[in-house]
C-alpha cells in the first residue's frame, strides 16, 4: 500500500513537472508584459476641458515635450510659479490668438489650446523670457517619432497668459498636472489604454 502511494505521488510530481516544462519559455513573460501594459496605461482622463484657477507673475522660461509608454507629454516651465500655476486646456476647432483674434493654423487631427496663467515676458521690463514667435513652432521642440503629438504653435502671451496650440493625432484623452514651477499636459496614445 505504501508503494502504491509513493508511486502515485511520484507520478503526480513528474506530471506537474512535465506540465510546467511544456509551457513555452516566452509565454509567461509575454502574459506578464501584456498585463503590465494593460494596467500601466490609464483610460479615465477624458477629453473635456480642464482648468486650474491660480495665477502667477513668474514668467514662462521654457516649453518642452517628451515621449512616454502611454502618452506624449508637454511641460511648461514656470520657475518660481509654485505648485499652483493656473491653466486652461481644451480642444478647439481652431486656434485664435488672444488680443488680435488672428487664426493660427495647427496641424493634426485635433487641436488642444493650452493657456498657462503666466506671462512669457518679464512683467517689469516687458523683455521676452521665452524665445518664441507668435504663429511659429515652439523653439527646440522636435516631434518626429511621437505617437500622439503632431504640431506645436506659440500663439503669444497677452495680459499675463501664455497661449499655445498643440496639434494631436485625434481628440484623445488628456490630463493636466501642476507641479512646483511646471504645468504638464499628457495626451494618451489611445482611448483603450493600450500603449
**121-172 per-position pLDDT tens digit:** 998 999 999 999 999 999 999 999 999 999 999 999 998 899 999 999 999 9
The secondary structure of residue 33, as a DSSP letter, is H
Q: Encode pLDDT of 3-61 as tens digits.
A: 444 444 444 444 443 343 433 344 444 444 444 445 468 778 999 999 998 878 899 99
Surface-to-core class of residue 67, CB atoms within 10 Å of its CB (0-12 exposed, 13-18 middle, 19+ buried): middle
Query: What is the CB neighbour count within 10 angstroms for residue 161?
Result: 20
Q: Encode pLDDT of 51-106 as tens digits.
A: 998 878 899 999 999 999 999 999 999 998 888 799 999 999 999 998 889 999 99
> Do the bridges between strand 50-52 and strand 174-179 make them parallel or antiparallel, or are there none, so unpaired?
unpaired
Question: What's the distance, Cα to Cα, between the start and end of the chain in Å?
Answer: 57
From residue 106, alpha-carbon distances to 80, 125, 164, 190 in Å are: 30, 31, 10, 21
- pTM (2 d.p.): 0.77
Question: Is the pLDDT at 179 greater than 80, yes or no?
Answer: yes
From residue 44, alpha-carbon distances to 113, 140, 193 in Å are: 20, 31, 9
Amino acid at each position: 500500500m505504501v508503494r502504491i502511494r509513493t508511486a502515485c505521488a511520484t507520478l503526480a510530481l513528474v506530471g506537474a513537472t512535465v506540465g510546467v516544462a511544456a509551457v513555452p519559455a516566452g509565454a509567461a513573460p509575454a502574459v506578464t508584459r501584456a498585463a503590465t501594459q494593460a494596467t500601466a496605461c490609464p483610460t479615465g482622463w477624458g477629453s473635456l476641458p480642464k482648468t486650474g484657477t491660480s495665477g502667477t507673475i513668474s514668467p514662462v522660461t521654457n516649453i518642452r515635450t517628451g515621449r512616454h509608454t502611454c502618452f506624449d507629454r508637454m511641460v511648461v516651465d514656470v520657475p518660481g510659479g509654485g505648485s499652483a500655476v493656473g491653466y486652461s486646456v481644451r480642444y478647439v476647432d481652431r486656434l485664435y490668438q488672444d488680443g488680435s483674434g488672428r487664426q493660427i493654423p495647427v496641424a493634426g487631427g485635433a487641436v488642444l489650446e493650452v493657456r498657462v496663467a503666466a506671462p512669457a515676458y518679464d512683467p517689469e521690463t516687458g523683455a521676452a523670457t521665452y524665445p518664441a514667435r507668435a504663429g511659429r513652432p515652439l523653439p527646440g521642440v522636435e516631434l518626429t517619432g511621437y505617437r500622439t503629438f503632431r504640431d506645436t504653435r506659440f500663439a503669444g502671451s497677452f495680459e499675463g497668459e501664455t497661449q499655445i496650440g498643440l496639434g494631436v493625432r485625434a481628440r484623445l484623452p488628456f490630463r493636466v498636472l501642476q507641479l512646483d514651477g511646471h504645468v504638464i499636459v499628457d495626451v494618451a496614445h489611445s482611448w483603450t489604454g493600450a500603449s
